[in-house]
A and B are shown apart, each in its own frame.
Chain A
């Protein structure tokens, strides 16, 4: 297992280096950074001096190594747009995105999985058919349409919930602004979380449903019934656990997607997260921010996948048995 983790870590580093190369090439190929930093009437000698100072005259491999070295320390230079350090800009906005994605994931998991279990156990019940039909809407409607519809109903017509922004936030540990400690903050979270999580919810529901249908047909479920176990033990102990491996895989991938694609939801709800920052940076060709965002998302995906791989070991004992406890033969 240790060998497995080491191998996975090496692969993760390779993936991050590749993402880093893409981010690095943004600097080299999306326009000349000097042009966006200096005025139009800056003399060529000054430009050359700046170029030398920024290390832009070094060979590309050297520049790449320096970029990676800085990125590893969280240094992505200054934003072209605001001249603030990019690292700080992202750190300031990351909590908003993480909290939103977390709520959306919790919503998708805690509603989607039970719905999947239910529709898998009673596939012919009318309520299962209804959920199946409704889930089609969740899968087929684009996120921004769902967001706008929710704003129309719950903010414009009913005035129950705010239509934009984070509401009230409280600083945790002096640097993490959180929504979780105020009523207004929690209210502001509801609509964006539903908007962001709905697609994942329907995806999870459909996945759990089809896995449940398959597991319920297996011999060990029939044998568990023959042993007289309660329905509760069979459905949630034996059946659900056997659906977990694919559910964990998809949840992991989708968690990454939630953070990365919170862009649309953040735009619709004017949510001050990294997604919104990214959109603004694209409009201004703010390459350091874009590169940092790219690296951040790459890092998150790698970390999540690593966690998912480790969770497999927790769930499925068949993967654990290497070395000492290998199958003992004998009849």
Chain B
């Protein structure tokens, strides 16, 4: 393992490609995706359904569902390559170094075991603790995620918890072995809106306290703006724009990012119509040549139709758009002007 220097990223994803062999040919679901996550950093990953964000997360934890597979590129954790590890070695990293939180807390827990049993088995899988020590740690974790009466609740079964409480248990499970990184795949999508903010705040606080980095996959720009340090916007399997969250939110370079920002309804501004990006993301089988966004882009030029843009630096962010250097200059992208 390479010596971890202070400025070394915790996670490096380089030119990641994920493909799905199907009868009608191989689909490239994640295409040449690269990004870093620094220790303790929260990277938000946004995009529409099918943009490849969840697949990227699954590839990192080594749980792509067959027939999906990593077809190229590298994933490094603390300098050590993890995308080509045998199952058993990757298993020891999962849970211990990389935790995961999935979308639906109602189905993430095994209904037949008490939450305590599920916590204890996870702790004992990764840490050399006795059953009694593991149970003490499990109670501490439940307290930490804000479950009242943890000493009693530990013996309860998942169905005895509400959705929000179950997601807290899931977070406790992800934190069992003090991972360095948590891949949170739409952790709040299945919850009531009033609970979402609590769960996000909890996740943010815990990761700050533990120094855990988070890859927060979501399609909710609001959550990203509140929580993330940096944000990566994905579109049709590629990163469209990546940079510090403030820059991306305020000075989006990519027309798609602008559209996303513009589509967040803001309070106090009455509009008759909600802003939206016209059209839909292309299917993986029908990605146009040139820039994948070009059918929906109001600024496309000749170059956009033939040549695919890679990420290009623009200020503090990088955007995959031929107009990246002019993108921020107040040009009206959609019918309504974006008010940031």
Contact = CB atoms under 8 A, between A and B. Distances in A.
Is B one of A's binding partners? yes
Nearest to B195: A331
A228 interface: yes
Nearest to A238: B110
A228 B126 contact: yes
B243 interface: no
B162 A226 contact: no
Chain A residues touching B, range: 20 to 34
A129 interface: no
Contacts of A233: 121, 125
Contact of A242 (B112, B157, B176): B112
User: Which of A225, A321, A330, A331 has the largest number of chain B CB atoms within 10 A?
Assistant: A331
A325 interface: yes
A321 B157 CA distance: 9
B112 A228 contact: no
Interface stretch (B3-11, B88-96, B233-241, B257-265): B88-96
B102 A230 contact: no
B160 A226 contact: no
Interface string A231-248: 101000110011000000
A330 B112 contact: no
Contacts of B121: 229, 233, 237
The secondary-structure label for the interface of chain A is helix
User: Which of A228, A237, A330 has the largest number of chain B CB atoms within 10 A?
Assistant: A228
B26 to A, nearest CB: 19
Interface in B83-115: 91-96, 99-100, 102, 104, 107-114
Contact of A331 (B110, B113, B164): B164
A30 interface: no
A227 B122 contact: yes
Given A227-B176, A229-B125, A327 B160 contact: yes
Contact of B109 (A220, A230, A326, A327): A220
A330 B148 contact: yes
Given A226-B63, A226-B102, A229-B95, A318 B159 contact: yes
Contacts of B164: 331
Contacts of A32: none
Contacts, number: 102
A233 B63 CA distance: 17
Given A219-B102, A242-B112, A331-B164, A230 B125 contact: yes
A227 B95 contact: yes
B295 to A, nearest CB: 34
Interface string A296-331: 000000000000000000011110010001111111
A230 B100 CA distance: 16
A317 B95 contact: no
B61 interface: yes
A223 interface: yes
A228 B110 contact: no
Nearest to B185: A226
Contacts of A316: 111-112
Contacts of A238: 110, 113
A230 B91 contact: yes
B156 A225 contact: no
Nearest to A226: B100
Nearest to B163: A331
Nearest to A217: B65
B128 to A, nearest CB: 14
A330 B95 contact: no
A218 interface: yes
Nearest to B90: A228
Nearest to A124: B66
Contact of B100 (A223, A231, A318): A223
12 contacts: A219-B104, A223-B102, A223-B109, A223-B173, A225-B91, A226-B102, A227-B176, A229-B121, A315-B112, A325-B160, A327-B160, A331-B165
Top 8 nearest A-B pairs by Cβ distance? A228-B95, A226-B100, A219-B107, A331-B164, A228-B94, A317-B157, A223-B108, A227-B95
Given A222-B102, A227-B99, A317-B112, 12 more contacts: A218-B107, A220-B109, A220-B110, A226-B99, A227-B122, A227-B173, A227-B174, A228-B91, A230-B91, A233-B121, A325-B160, A330-B165
